[in-house]
Amino acid sequence: MNNPILAIRHLSVTFNHRQTVVDDISFEIHAGETFALVGESGSGKSITALSVLRLLPNNARLNAEAVNLHGDNLLNHSEFELCKIRGRRIGFIFQDPMSSLNPVMTIGGQIEEVIKLHFDLPRDAVKQRVLELLQQVEIPEPQQRIKDYPHQLSGGQRQRVMIAIALAGKPDLLIADEPTTSLDVTIQAQILGLLKAIQQQTGMALWLISHDLTLVSTMADRVAVMQQGKIVETGLTAEFFNQPKHPYTRKLLDALPLMQSCLAHKTEEKPPLLQVSDFYCYYPIRKGIFKRVVDFVRAVDGVSFNIQQGKTLALVGESGCGKTTLGKSLLNLIPGSGRVVINGVELNALTGEALRKQRANIQIVFQDPFSSMNPRMLVGDIIAEGIRALHPKASSDERKARVRQLLQQVDLPTDSALRYPHEFSGGQRQRICIARALAVDPKLIVCDEPTSALDVSVQAQIIQLLKTLQQEKGVSYLFITHDLAVVAEIADDVAVMYQGKIIEQGSVAEVLTQPKQAYTKKLLAAVPVLKMDH
Amino acid sequence: MVVLWTDALIYLLIVVILALGLYLRGKEHIKRPLQQISRSKIGMVSLVVLLFFVLIGLLDSVHFKPADDKKNEIISLLDDWATPLREHGEKTYSAPFATTLYSKEMMTLADGSMQWGYPRLEFGGRHLSNPEIEKVPDILQKTVYGLAQGASLIGFFMLLMWMLLVEQHKRFMRSSTAKTVWAVAFFMVSFSYALIYLSGYYHVFGTDKVGEDVFYQAVKSIRTGLVIGTLTTLIMLPMAIIFGILAGFFRGWVDDIIQYIYTTLNSIPGVLLIAASILMVQVYMANHEAAFTSVIVRADTRLLFLCMILGVTSWTGLCRLLRAETLKLREMEYVQAASALGVKQGAILLRHILPNVMHIVLISVVLDFSSLVLAEAVLSYINIGVDPTSYSWGNMINGARLEMAREPIVWWSLTAAFVFMFALVLAANLFADVVQDAFDPRRSGNE
């Protein structure tokens, strides 16, 4: 234990000579342990990892007393020598398995490349090693898979290939930068299990970088929390989660949504606001020169549900199950078929101008707060857009007053109206999007993963805001999400979606505590639960 | 004052640019890239060079009939100022700074006898009595004199500006970019003043086959180049923007039709179309001689038609880019949010799509400009460009190519056209690079 694999002393990284991203941090990683670096986005955790391998962008300046790998200061090595360390002694797994693999090389070729770079082996031995690695990361039928291209693999399998590439150099230290963030819950559990297993086999150290505290609590031996470039707290996982010392850590832990909170919801019946029955949304698959329709992608396959006035229905499912398609086609953004009745008006009978008038009833808040606002428009104009379109008679003073009022409702300063979207943080942008949706007094807001691009503490604030608005205005939500913990916080009812169909629905307490379907049980089991007692 | 067709369009263009400037003033997303451009040394220097060319082009676009004219001629402000240069024609070729013709001929001496030799020029170096000895010192002296005059002129202006500036602007003027810009402006003004001064006594770039001053030709060609570069874009832009955005936004049969049009247009060789339309104009002008009495009006009509046909053949590239970008933008969530709010499709196009493709338009306009200037030279070279009587770099090159085989070679027409064209196109390209860096959202973020 006295001889750490990696020891970082007084590391700082500055961008463009002014913006300090990593501010004088020091820590050690020992052999065989899992060390987790936790922090919100922009806290500098990825930059710390990149600076160990000196993979920083050109405008960054690195400053450190020492970065020791087995007592050997990496800062004294030339770029050429460092190339032999990268991949050989330190392996690296990136966040996005979609863009980290070369799309025009076979996966076997990509693993081979690393092996050839670091080991002088005959061809047969290299092939043998590639097979071994694919077996190690539990890819089924590695013999056939070796000639596959990345697009032929699923997201989870791609991440497994990334791990195989990282393991190819037999590293002593594996850096995993948010290895499961872009994956579904069930896949995430598999990948984490795999990492644990491999670590036990090889005895290497694992440096896990994550924003997800619950995930860290199940994986890590030691934890360090980063805030604005500084490490504010370090400790053994058990101590850390049971007796957090730093106020920031406590704030982070408090912001975590809890599964238990679903029991607190009241279950009084209210009249239904939205009734959807037998809703279908098919994409045609066209082939041949005449673009004949040969088959359909059944994105939404016969769905029926109700939403009560002033209540929240959560639509849960893994990526690709059709939940976003359903949400968008309720607003007629994607054509769908089936009966949709809101507030007594049947929507699918309407077209043209009549439909445009009914638009006010349902609004949407998107997942990505960065692409959901026109970067060339002022915030005030963005919010006023709906008023302008649906109430063309409103005078400009009335509009301004309304925008001011909306900004206050979502807790933003009123002078925000004269600023551009890029001047706001992710959470603030999501507030603007909510204000834009509220502007036309909708009865129902479709929230399409509104919090999944946000940090934990911001996520908690947005959920609180949504709840408050529901109490004040009696608006209903269709809350689309993959995060069951968030569902527990906000939803009254839950519908679980799987391959275009709703397989289970009921009140939140029922579904989350006594799931009936096997798939729901699997989903619930895969959710990492904060382990308080190690 | 006489307003030719291209003049009118140039005035319109200036009005449009001014209006656009007023409209975009204070828009944050435009201001930031502009500030980035204003901080770039290369960008500002090339802008100064471009503006210098534009100024000459504008002077050459104000046409009028002189009051005391007998030849029924239309001249521009530039012609008016360059009258001595315009009228100081020689008999035929003469080298730069020459005092005699380039070829030998029989000449009558003062005593009446005949001699085979190089006759003195009528205007170039006329003030010298003994050119062999006096020429070099005279040129040097006049150069220094001209430089000094130019330098003091621009120096006086700069001093005046410095005194009139408020403190806030003065701070901006002290930045290193501003200093470089001033240095370039200083150099350019004094250098061109010296050239103008010298050209009063010599043919600084020589004369061409019919004895016309090449320096004057090269300067007059600036307007032709600029007109082709800018008016063509003016004609091309509406087509590219409207078709591109409509095709990308509505898809379906609208997209099919527009794609069909531009793939068809793209597969016809542009040169053929241009040759055909130029022929058409010539026939039209021959049939309506009464409307085209003056040489300059004829040349102007042909220039305008060249611009139009170049515009019609060159909008497809930008249209494709815009269609692709619109296809991407229409799936953006803010467009979906707008349609969820019940915003009409026309408003979505104007408010959400158009402003977000403007950076592509801007970049391609600046890039296209230089390629169009070069295209003019190529087209004139194969005789389907501008009118042979009008001044253009293409015509200069075309005229000079026949003399390339001559011994000794006549090199100055080609060189003068090359130097002017190179300066303009290089400045435009460098400026385009800077504009592209500033407005491309993927690049402007990281310094």
Restricting to B residues 18-37, those with a Cβ less than 8 Å away from any Cβ of A are 27-29
Q: Which two tokens stand for residue A305?
A: 């549900």
Q: What is the pLDDT of residue A534?
A: 42
What integer best gives the mean pLDDT of chain B?
85
The predicted-structure confidence for A314-370, as pLDDT tens digits, reads as follows 999 888 788 888 888 888 888 888 888 888 888 777 777 888 888 888 899 988 888
User: A4-8, A38-42, B187-191, B213-217 — which is least confidently predicted?
Assistant: A38-42
Q: Which two tokens stand for residue A525?
A: 């089991």
ipTM above 0.90, yes or no: no
**pLDDT higher than threshold 80 for residue B173:** no
On whether the pTM is more than 0.80, the answer is no
Confidence of residue A445 (pLDDT cuts 50, 70, 90): very high
For the stretch A84-122, what's the b/e string if a residue is b when 16 or more beta carbons lie within 10 angstroms of its beta carbon?
ebbbbbbbbbbbebeebbeeeebbbebbbebbeebeeee
**pLDDT higher than threshold 80 for residue A411:** yes
B356 touches chain A (CB under 8 A): yes
Preferred mutation among A324, A334, A374 to probe B, highest tally of B CBs within 10 A: A374
Q: Which two tokens stand for residue A306?
A: 């109700």
Q: What is the pLDDT of residue A151?
A: 85
Neighbours of B177 (CB within 10 A): 17
DSSP secondary structure letter of residue B120: B
Determine the average pLDDT of the residues in B231-254.
Answer: 91
A390 touches chain B (CB under 8 A): yes
| A43 contacts: CB under 8 Å, gap ≥ 6 | A226, A227, A228, A229
**pLDDT higher than threshold 50 for residue A533:** no
A433 touches chain B (CB under 8 A): yes
Q: Which residues of A touch B337 (CB under 8 A)?
A: 364, 366, 372-373, 433, 436-437
Residues A263, A512 contacting (CB under 8 angstroms): no
Q: Is the N-terminal amide bond of A140 cis, ω within 30° of 0?
A: no
Residues A36, A236 contacting (CB under 8 angstroms): no
Cite the DSSP H helix spans in A66-219.
79-85, 107-118, 123-136, 142-145, 155-167, 185-202, 213-219
Percentage of the residues of chain A whose pLDDT score is greater than 90: 16
Residues B41, B177 contacting (CB under 8 angstroms): yes
Q: Which residues of A touch B333 (CB under 8 A)?
A: 366, 368, 371-372
Confidence of residue B441 (pLDDT cuts 50, 70, 90): low
Task: List beta partners, residue A344.
Answer: none
CB contact under 8 A, B28 and A375: no
**pLDDT higher than threshold 50 for residue A52:** yes
With 0-12 / 13-18 / 19 or more C-beta atoms within 10 angstroms meaning exposed / middle / buried, residue A423 is: exposed
Q: What interhelical angle do A426-438 and A396-409 show, nearest 10? A: 130
CA distance A331 to chain B (A): 6
B345 touches chain A (CB under 8 A): no
| φ and ψ at residue B444, rounded to 5 degrees | -70, -20
User: A282-291, A380-389, B141-150 — which is least confidently predicted?
Assistant: A282-291
| φ and ψ at residue A8, rounded to 5 degrees | -105, 130
Q: Which residues of B touch A445 (CB under 8 A)?
A: none
**pLDDT higher than threshold 70 for residue B445:** no
Count the alpha carbons within 13 Å of A324 in the hemisphere toward its beta carbon.
12
Q: Which two tokens stand for residue A188?
A: 């995430």
Residues B370, B425 contacting (CB under 8 angstroms): yes
Q: Which residue among B28, B343, B446 sits closest to A385, beta carbon to beta carbon?
A: B343
CB contact under 8 A, A371 and B340: no
**pLDDT higher than threshold 70 for residue A531:** no
B130 touches chain A (CB under 8 A): no
Confidence of residue A130 (pLDDT cuts 50, 70, 90): very high
- The end-to-end CA distance of chain A, in Å, is 20
| C-alpha span between A172 and A6 (Å, rounded) | 10
CB contact under 8 A, B29 and A375: yes
Q: Which residue among A16, A376, A440 sits closest to B341, beta carbon to beta carbon?
A: A440
Count Cβ–Cβ pairs < 8 Å, chain A vs chain B: 75
Confidence of residue A206 (pLDDT cuts 50, 70, 90): very high
Determine the average pLDDT of the residues in B294-322.
Answer: 89
| Max mean pLDDT range (A488-502, A520-534, B88-102) | A488-502
| C-alpha span between A464 and A456 (Å, rounded) | 12
Q: What is the pLDDT of residue B446?
A: 38
DSSP secondary structure letter of residue B119: P
Q: Which residue among A331, A374, A386 sits closest to B334, beta carbon to beta carbon?
A: A374
Count the alpha carbons within 13 Å of A349 in the hemisphere toward its beta carbon.
5
B257 compared with B16, residue with greater pLDDT: B257
User: A58-62, A462-466, A512-516, B71-75 — which is least confidently predicted?
Assistant: B71-75
DSSP secondary structure letter of residue A516: -
Q: Which residue among A16, A382, A389 sits closest to B344, beta carbon to beta carbon?
A: A389
Q: What interhelical angle do A426-438 and B333-340 show, nearest 10? A: 20
B337 touches chain A (CB under 8 A): yes
| C-alpha span between A272 and B151 (Å, rounded) | 84
B340 touches chain A (CB under 8 A): yes
The predicted-structure confidence for A65-115, as pLDDT tens digits, reads as follows 888 888 888 888 888 888 888 888 898 888 777 778 888 999 999 999 889
CA distance A219 to chain B (A): 36
Q: What is the pLDDT of residue B318?
A: 93
A333 touches chain B (CB under 8 A): yes
Count the alpha carbons within 13 Å of B434 in the hemisphere toward its beta carbon.
20
CB contact under 8 A, A374 and B342: no
For residue A445, give the chain B residue with the closest CA.
Answer: B340
Q: What is the pLDDT of residue A250?
A: 86
What integer best gives the mean pLDDT of chain A?
86
CB contact under 8 A, B352 and A363: no
A350 touches chain B (CB under 8 A): no
Preferred mutation among B333, B343, B348 to probe A, highest tally of A CBs within 10 A: B333
| C-alpha span between A186 and A192 (Å, rounded) | 10
| C-alpha span between B99 and B115 (Å, rounded) | 17
Residues B231, B429 contacting (CB under 8 angstroms): no
A16 touches chain B (CB under 8 A): yes
Percent of chain A as helix, strand, coil, to the nearest 5: 40, 25, 35
Q: Which residue among B29, B333, B341 sits closest to A359, beta carbon to beta carbon?
A: B341
Determine the average pLDDT of the residues in B296-300.
Answer: 87
Helix (H, G, I), strand (E, B) or coil at A63: strand
User: Mind giving me the DSSP string for B168-210?
Assistant: HHHHHHTSHHHHHHHHHHHHHHHHHHHHHHHHTTS-TT-B-TT
Tokens 């608005």 sit at which residue?
A469
